[in-house]
Structure 1
Amino acid sequence: MELRDIEIFLTLADELHFGRTAERLNVSQARVSQAIAKQERRMGTVLFERTSRQVSLTPVGARLRDDLRQGYELIQSGLALASRSTSTPNGVLTLATMGAVGHHMRPVVDAFVARHPTCSVEPREFHFSDPFGRLRRGEVDVQVTWLPVSEPDVRVGPRVLTEGRVLAVPSSHPLATEGEVSIEVLGDEMVFDIGAEAPGYWEQAMLPRRTPAGRPVIRGHGVRTFHEVLTRVAAGDGVTPLNAHVCRYYTMPGVTYVPITDVPDTEWALIWLAERETPEIRAFADTARSLGPRAF
């Protein structure tokens, strides 16, 4: 069945009227009748019951409608995306970040809009407990995430930010008076469980399962958002490594941040779904790449 014939069939299945179908598709009514008759001959069965007063789907026609609709919509979506992929950046780009990271993306956003005046950027937020969910649900176009990212459907773009790390501890904790700490201290403490949505390798980059000496790092209370983390730390329920920008943006009674000296810097990069790459995403990534990574 040719794509145009599928379109005629599905439109008639919606309208149940040959004249309205022809008008909607800008073809002659004879063309609609010919297309349906051709498919009925090919299938050896009737798809529509016609009377002088009404048109209705037969059971076979209804089943064919349901089977064809999903495939047709996927084809149309793919064609639209292919068309966009060769066009000039134009429209709204949604950018997801975690908390204050969005503020530090301002230079990239401003440069992107200056280069592409017909584009705009809408901010969104995501949580570490579900690092790729909003991308995969199509709620955002691109996001800024700490590395590494190793997802088969996700494309990793340019690095945009770098920073050190700190250990968040209760202010009453003995470590709160230290000038710095080693990541090895996690072997003596309770940390938090961020849930099953975050891949193990990605969580491991920030919150290891074992210390460098091989001691297990025990998980305790579950947390799903950054403010839940701070509340738990202030209550004395555990400690956790965090990115160092929290010292600048997030002060909370009962929480002290101590620099961690023996971990690599966190690198933040742009990521997006490979199958949903658009001219806007490519242009935004090119802008970020030209500016290079910046320290918090």
Structure 2
Amino acid sequence: MAELETRELEYFVAVAEELHFGHAATRLAIAQPALSKAIRRLEARLGVRLLERSSRSVTLTPAGQALLHHGRHALNAVSAAAEKTRRAAEQQARLRLVIKPGGDANLLSGILAAYAGRPDARQVDILFGGATDRADHVRDGRADVALLYAPFDDMTGLDHETLTVEGRVAILPPDHRLATRPQVTLADLAQETLPRWKGVRWTGAPEAEHGPQVTDAAEALHLIRLGRTIAVLPRSLARPMHPDLVYRPVTDAPTSALVLAWAQDDRRPLVASFVAAAVEAAGRT
């Protein structure tokens, strides 16, 4: 089989993620006809159909789904090779931590203080990622460590230490039928409209097949205030609590964990020292 080129993978992954040639072309900053021609050429070289196209939609074939999965990892590996090569040339290493804004369960200050007290501590640069891309920051070398939520984030290719485990809460508008209860169960939520979290793995909590798609908690909270949906979130991600909404523990929802993750092949003392400091600080809370 002909070898794949990195640019071909970039083109295909963009189309596969957007499921729209126009949006993908804009994202890649190329002309749409050129992108369509490149995808057709890729399909011809591989001898398989990757996409089903109609005048109204673009969908992935099973072969396309496989290439999207493996192609993402291949692009991450290429990016990581370049980034780690550059970092190997740095004389003064710095540690880069990627987090989601508000996604530290109030542990970050203690972790940074514990690390700063270690004799081998280096400067820590804080990077902010989105709801679903922080693990990719570690896999492709943009960050050394990440604060992630299990089971929401994809841990493929990563090692991790659990810092804290927490329950989940249902977030409801104040006039909701369940708002007067002190706590709720998953059965209580079975007929409710819940959001679909874009790019987030299945979490064991209810998710509406036809609920509104959201990319982060801020979008979900806005829709809850409008009465369009409710949501089930880890307790720490529901803070600070919005005064116009009601928060109720979901007693039988699967727990979630805040974890510190790093690349499986990363054995640098820099990373090991930070992980040890984080586990130590979390254990004191």
Q: Same fold (TM over 0.5)?
A: yes
**CA contact under 8 A between 2:171 and 2:231: conserved in structure 1?**
yes
3-state SS of the aligned residue for 1:237?
A: coil
Larger radius of gyration: 1
Q: Counterpart of 1:173?
A: 176
Q: Counterpart of 1:230?
A: 221
**CA contact under 8 A between 2:197 and 2:214: conserved in structure 1?**
yes
Q: Counterpart of 1:267?
A: 257
Q: Quote how far apart the aligned CAs of 1:229 are.
A: 1.2
- TM-score of the superposed pair, with normalisation by structure 1: 0.59
**CA contact under 8 A between 2:97 and 2:145: conserved in structure 1?**
yes
- 1:176–1:129 Cα change, 3 Å: farther
Query: Which whole-Å CA distance do the structure 2 matches of 1:80 and 1:219 have between them?
Result: 45
> What value does the CA root-mean-square deviation take over the aligned residues?
3.2
Query: Which whole-Å CA distance do the structure 2 matches of 1:111 and 1:173 have between them?
Result: 43
Say which structure is richer in helix: 1
Q: Verify: 1:278 aligned to 2:278, yes or no.
A: no
Q: Counterpart of 2:54?
A: none
Q: Counterpart of 1:154?
A: 158
- TM-score of the superposed pair, with normalisation by structure 2: 0.61
Letter in 1 for 2:274: F
Query: Which whole-Å CA distance do the structure 1 matches of 2:237 and 2:86 have between them?
Result: 44
- 1:277–1:125 Cα change, 3 Å: farther
- 1:171–1:276 Cα change, 3 Å: same
**CA contact under 8 A between 1:191 and 1:240: conserved in structure 2?**
yes
Q: Verify: 1:204 aligned to 2:203, yes or no.
A: yes
Q: Counterpart of 2:209?
A: 218
Q: Quote how far apart the aligned CAs of 1:277 are.
A: 4.8
Query: Which whole-Å CA distance do the structure 2 matches of 1:233 and 1:76 have between them?
Result: 41
Query: Which whole-Å CA distance do the structure 1 matches of 2:210 and 2:94 have between them?
Result: 40
**CA contact under 8 A between 1:91 and 1:118: conserved in structure 2?**
no
**CA contact under 8 A between 1:182 and 1:262: conserved in structure 2?**
yes
Listed as ranges, the matches of 1:19-30 within 5 Å are none
Where structure 1 has 5 or more consecutive residues not aligned to the other structure, the ranges are 1-70, 210-216
Letter in 1 for 2:157: D
- 1:285–1:95 Cα change, 3 Å: same
Where structure 2 has 5 or more consecutive residues not aligned to the other structure, the ranges are 1-77
Q: Quote how far apart the aligned CAs of 1:231 are.
A: 0.5
Q: Counterpart of 1:287?
A: 277
Percent of aligned positions that are identical: 20
**CA contact under 8 A between 2:114 and 2:280: conserved in structure 1?**
no
Query: Which whole-Å CA distance do the structure 1 matches of 2:93 and 2:84 have between them?
Result: 18
**CA contact under 8 A between 1:128 and 1:225: conserved in structure 2?**
yes
Aligned mate of 1:192, from 195, 201, 215:
195
**CA contact under 8 A between 1:180 and 1:261: conserved in structure 2?**
yes
